[in-house]
Amino acid sequence: MAKILSKKSLMWILPVVAVAGAAFFGYQYWKSKKFALPEGIASGNGRLESKLVDVAAKEALRVKEILVDEGDLVEPGQVLVKLDTVTIDAELAAARANVAATQERLAIANAAIVRRKSEIELARIEVERTRKLVEERAGSQREYDVRKTSLQTTTAALAEEEARLQTAKQEVEVAQANVATVQTRIDDATLKSPVHGRVLYRLAEVGEVLAPGGKALTLVNLKDIYMEIFLPSHLAAKLKIGAEGRITVDHAPGIAAAGYVSFVSPEAQFTPKQVETRSEREKLMFRVKIQLPEELAASYIEYIKTGTRGVGYVKVDEYATWPNWLQNLLPMSPQMLHGKLPLHERSGGVH
């Protein structure tokens, strides 16, 4: 009886298994066909990456205050770190005092020139008066010679005062330049963000002394987002800078971001030890960078997480057509994103 039941069960199980297996492989075949890439389009696995920017001190100073933490979004020009400038402040005070002293010497030199010019004018009048007296035989030649010599001496003294004036002017310029230099050092002690990004690493703490070039923070530039993929040599050779690209991420497979090829490595990134046959040459892989437009990256700055895995696609043939599943593009505004997602993605959103 048990053998009969066993045979009957087997007769039912085998067709079910066969149908299930056929359905599974049929689904896999359908899926592979649905997401198959047309001729002229290549793809590769990658992850979202961004340029890193270090926020560093220009000279050795102590950290006074850190205003951000890891993960914080920052904007260009935002103050991130303040360094202690007590010693530089003292230098600035001394430099400003020196400016005041040089300006005082400049004022004295200007006054001396005014005085000398008045003396020259008076000496000229006396010379002219004495000359007329000599011509009228009412004055002595000696008196005329004395007046003339006095004019020459006063004129020479004016040239000397004018030289002192130029020296005083140069001293003022040097002193003011020194003030500007010290002020620049103080300004440089306030570390600001050069980019719109996110704090990746906090590398210093309050009270630490940073060496010249010492890093306080490392930022991720969220406006410079790209994905790097690797393509075999025969595809990389056909790829043009500026060619259309698409980026998809694993957590939102129903939508793609439009980008462009910004870099194709001129050298293979990894090769076998010996390259002799055609099959081995095919193993040569070249790095390709797919760049997101800055405007698009800026619109999604709150959502972008570097390191997110995904797939990058590029047009090796400029006349190739993107498949339908790569034409559902990320809109320029996040507010429009909800309507772009497939139904099964809309409830969860994009992270």
272 plus 143 within the same structural domain: no
Q: Residue 339 sits in a domain of what CATH number?
A: 2.40.30.170
pLDDT digits (tens, 9 = 90+) for 210-267: 999 999 999 999 889 999 999 988 899 899 999 999 999 988 878 899 999 999 998 8
- Is residue 2 in some structural domain? no
Is the pLDDT reported for residue 153 higher than 50?
yes
Range of the domain at 253: 40-49+223-346
DSSP 279-305: HHHTT-EEEEEEEPPHHHHHHTTTT--
- Is residue 106 in some structural domain? yes
- Among the ranges given (13-17, 75-79, 122-126, 301-305), the one the predictor scored with the smallest mean pLDDT: 13-17
283 plus 147 within the same structural domain: no
Residue linked to tokens 């003022």: 172
- Is residue 12 in some structural domain? no
The pLDDT score that the predictor gives to residue 119 is 76
> Burial level of 108, CB count in 10 A (0-12/13-18/19+)?
middle
313 plus 166 within the same structural domain: no
160 plus 304 within the same structural domain: no
pLDDT digits (tens, 9 = 90+) for 37-71: 889 999 999 999 999 999 999 999 999 999 999 98
The pLDDT score that the predictor gives to residue 351 is 34
Supply the mean pLDDT for the chain: 81
Q: What is the dihedral sign for C-alpha 160, 161, 163, 168? A: positive
227 plus 320 within the same structural domain: yes
Is the pLDDT reported for residue 108 higher than 90?
no
- Is residue 28 in some structural domain? no
The pLDDT score that the predictor gives to residue 110 is 84
98 plus 158 within the same structural domain: yes
The pLDDT score that the predictor gives to residue 124 is 82
- More confident call, 254 vs 320: 320
- Is residue 274 in some structural domain? yes
239 plus 250 within the same structural domain: yes
Q: Percentage of the chain surpassing pLDDT 70?
A: 80
Where is 77: in which H helix or E strand? none
- More confident call, 135 vs 251: 251
76 plus 195 within the same structural domain: yes
106 plus 211 within the same structural domain: no
Per-residue pLDDT band for 182 (boundaries 50, 70, 90) equals: very high
Q: Percentage of the chain surpassing pLDDT 90?
A: 46
Residue linked to tokens 């914080």: 72
Q: Which two structure tokens, joined as six digits, stand for 245?
A: 């690209």
Q: 132-147 as b/e, with b when 16 or more CB fall inside 10 Å?
A: eebeeeebeeeebeeb
The pLDDT score that the predictor gives to residue 348 is 37
227 plus 319 within the same structural domain: yes
Per-residue pLDDT band for 27 (boundaries 50, 70, 90) equals: very low
Q: Residue 200 sits in a domain of what CATH number?
A: 2.40.50.100
Is the pLDDT reported for residue 341 higher than 70?
no
Q: What is the number of structural domains in the chain?
A: 3
Is the pLDDT reported for residue 9 higher than 90?
no
The pLDDT score that the predictor gives to residue 298 is 85
Per-residue pLDDT band for 271 (boundaries 50, 70, 90) equals: low
206 plus 269 within the same structural domain: no
- Is residue 33 in some structural domain? no
- Is residue 27 in some structural domain? no
184 plus 195 within the same structural domain: no
The pLDDT score that the predictor gives to residue 114 is 82
Give me the half-sphere count of Cα atoms (radius 13 Å) on the Cβ side of residue 337.
21
